[in-house]
Structures are given as C-alpha cells and as structure tokens.
Amino acid sequence: MKNVFLITPSSLIRKKRDFSGGTQSLFKLGFNVLNPEFPTALSSPQEKAAQIHRAFSDPDVEMILAQRGGYGAMKSLPFIDFDLIREHPRFFAGFSDVSALLNPIFERTGLVTFHAPMVKNLSAPTPFTLKSFLNAVSGFPEKNLFKGAPVKVFHPGIARGILKGGNLMTLSALMGTDWEIDTEHSILFLEDVDEKSHSVDRCLTQWILAGKFRDVQAILLGDFRGIRSRQVYEMIASQMEIKFPVVSCSYIGHGDNKMTLPVGALVELDTDRKRLFIQEMSLPGGIP
C-alpha cells in the first residue's frame, strides 16, 4: 500500500464532497491517506513550504499529492528547501497551478515529478485517468504515454528530449524569475483552461520573443478548453518557422481524461506512430 500525504500548495477545495470523493477513490485503489482531514484555512507561502518539507521529510510518506490547483503555488518557491527534497525523493504529483513546483523541483534536484490528477480530479475519474495514473505509480510498465489517447499531428518528425511543461499562464508568470523554466533540449507540453484567445496568443508571443522555443525538440499542445488546438498551433506558426515536431493531445490538461506525465524523463516523440515513449527515467523513492 502506498502512503499518501496531501498538500495544499495552491487554492483550497471548495466543496467537501470533492475532497471526500477523492480520498475515498484513493482508499479504494489501495492507497493509505495519512492526513485525510478536510482543510478549511489557506496557508501562507511559508506554511505551504513547511508542509512540503514535512511531506518530503516523513519516512512514512511515499507519495505527495496536491489537493487542487488554482493559484498561489509560486509564492512558496523562495521558501522551499530544494536540498531537503533532493535528499528525500518522493513521488510528487499535481498539475495546473502546481506546474510552478513540478518544473523547478526537477531542475533544481533532478527529481522526476508528475503532471498528474489531484485529489479533486480523483473524485470521479475516468477509466483513462485512472489507468494512466496507476501506470505512473507502478513505475510505468506501459512506456508509451500516448497509448489510448487521441493525437493530432501538426508538424511531423521524431524528437528526443527531456519532458517538461504544464500550465501556460502559470509558467509564463515565472518568466524573468529565478524559477523560469529551462526549455533547452526539452519536449515541451503546454495546456490551459478557459483563457481568451488573445491572452494565450500574448503568452505564446512572450515565449517566442524570449527565445523559449528556439531550442525545444518538440511541442505537445494539450487541452486549451475554449480554444481549438489548431488555433493554438497557428499562433506559434504565424510568428516563427517550425523546425520541430508539434502534436496535440486533449488528454493533457483540464479535460475529464487526464494523462499522467513524468516531468524530467527522457522521452521520444514519433509522430508517424503517434507515440510518446519513455526512454530513460530515474524514479523517486517508493516506486517499484
């Protein structure tokens, strides 16, 4: 049984039934939630960092799972002890606003983190979401991350790189800070939800002007609920020459079906086979 410690790095879950449903799903899947109490008070950035430290330090904890996204995870970054995390590797999972932690943790510690459904999302998960999540927890016996997911090819090719990425708005907010994502030699995935097209266009333009797409090996466009993936691709293609593979997969992001992705794994994208394959990855403690 996996011992899970729940953290609240971003916003609170508003409805207790969403929290209870998520924890009950974890119990049914064979996980032991070490702190199943419903949180009702939002912590300060320092307190959020302390909660993360507690989770990584506790020898009984095997998995650290965010309760939900929202806003505020990046505020805890200056207070996080990355040396402590490096010395006590754990399965660390979340997505959306938690992208602000997934990428800096990998880049500063070498610990692979997981862009994965959170407690709120596990309240009523789809079969694909559960299968992908359990595949990750089991050490990725299925190494083709795209298996069973819809994939559209916008620019063909084969590429190898370090898998990084997450929520576009969140990662854009880190630009110009000490925690800005390093996209060199990466296979970069981006997603967002309910943003206006001009806001997404503005952020992508910022990435292009900052040279963040110059040395990527490939781009994976996830779900941009409210904006077609073809439109997002054209926002990029209209401003730069695309010399790398680009695909879209709606199972990356805020949709009902959620793919669990290992941030920091060496992967290969093959657009002909519509395959995203893990080639090399050092798993954190507690994973077979």
156 closest CA partner among 224, 242, 222 = 242
Q: State the CB neighbour count (10 A cutoff) for residue 176.
A: 10
Q: State the CB neighbour count (10 A cutoff) for residue 61.
A: 21
Give the separation between CA 61 and CA 80, rounded to whole angstroms. Answer: 18
β-bridge mates for residue 276, sequence order:
269
Give the separation between CA 229 and CA 196, rounded to whole angstroms. Answer: 13
- Residues marked active site are found at 96, 191, 254
**3-state SS class at 177:** coil
Which pair of structure tokens corresponds to residue 271?
């657009």
How far, rounded to the nearest angstrom, does the alpha carbon of residue 107 sit from its chain's CA centroid?
Answer: 14
What letters, b where the CB count within 10 A reaches 16 and e where it falls short, cover 231-251? ebbebbeeeeeeebbbbbbbb
Give the separation between CA 53 and CA 20, rounded to whole angstroms. Answer: 24
